[in-house]
């Protein structure tokens, strides 16, 4: 039993060590908007192409955010604002204007404790190509 408690404690310490608060989205719109706009393509009623995945990854790799920050932005800011489109019969097909993106994200933002999108079956299903974006961002940043 003691071994289990120690193991769980070490795992939780590692989780919290990675937990870093990034600025509130309303305070960082200049840096966030290109990232939000690119990420919002995951929620448009079209299949993401490999070319679009590379474009999203380029925007993300050019941003000042770490991969962990980008994941948090994707799943705590963009997902809550746009996931409804994935369930709409007449969902958005061409994307949203910058003003709509900002408005939706700021209105839907709540400071959420975040573990990982990999624990949510809906996020796994709808955002499975996020892994390709992460891999491409890591590749691009590694080549700098």
Left if phi > 0, otherwise alpha if psi is -120 to 50, otherwise beta: which for 95? left
5 in a domain, yes or no? no
Give how many domains the chain has, as a whole number: 1
Task: Tell me, yes or no, whether 118 lies in a domain.
Answer: yes
| Token code pair at residue 64 | 């000042």
Does 122 reside within a domain? Answer: yes
Q: Is residue 121 part of a domain?
A: yes
Tokens of residue 20, six digits: 């870093």
Confidence band, pLDDT 50/70/90 cuts, at residue 13? very low
d(CA 63, CA 69): 10
Whether 18 maps to a domain, the answer reads: no
Percent of the chain with pLDDT over 90: 54
Domain range enclosing 77: 23-142
Could you report the per-residue pLDDT of 57-115, keeping only the tens digit for each? 999 999 999 999 999 999 889 999 999 988 877 666 778 999 999 999 999 998 766 66
Rounded Cα–Cα distance for residues 117 and 115 (Å): 7
Asked whether residue 15 is domain-assigned, the answer is: no
How far is it, in rounded angstroms, from Cα 54 to Cα 32? 18
């Amino acid at each position: 039993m003691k071994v289990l408690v120690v193991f769980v404690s070490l795992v939780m310490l590692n989780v919290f060590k990675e937990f870093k608060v990034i600025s509130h989205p309303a305070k960082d719109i200049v840096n966030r908007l290109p990232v939000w706009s690119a990420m919002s393509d995951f929620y448009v009623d079209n299949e993401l192409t490999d070319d679009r995945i590379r474009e999203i990854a380029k925007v993300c790799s050019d941003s000042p955010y770490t991969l962990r920050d980008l994941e948090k932005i994707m799943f705590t800011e963009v997902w809550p604002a746009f996931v409804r489109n994935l369930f709409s019969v007449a969902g958005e097909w061409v994307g949203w204007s910058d003003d709509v993106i900002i408005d939706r994200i700021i209105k839907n933002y709540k400071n959420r404790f975040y573990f990982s999108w990999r624990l949510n079956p809906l996020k796994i299903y709808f955002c499975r190509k996020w892994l390709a974006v992460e891999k491409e961002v890591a590749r691009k940043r590694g080549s700098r």
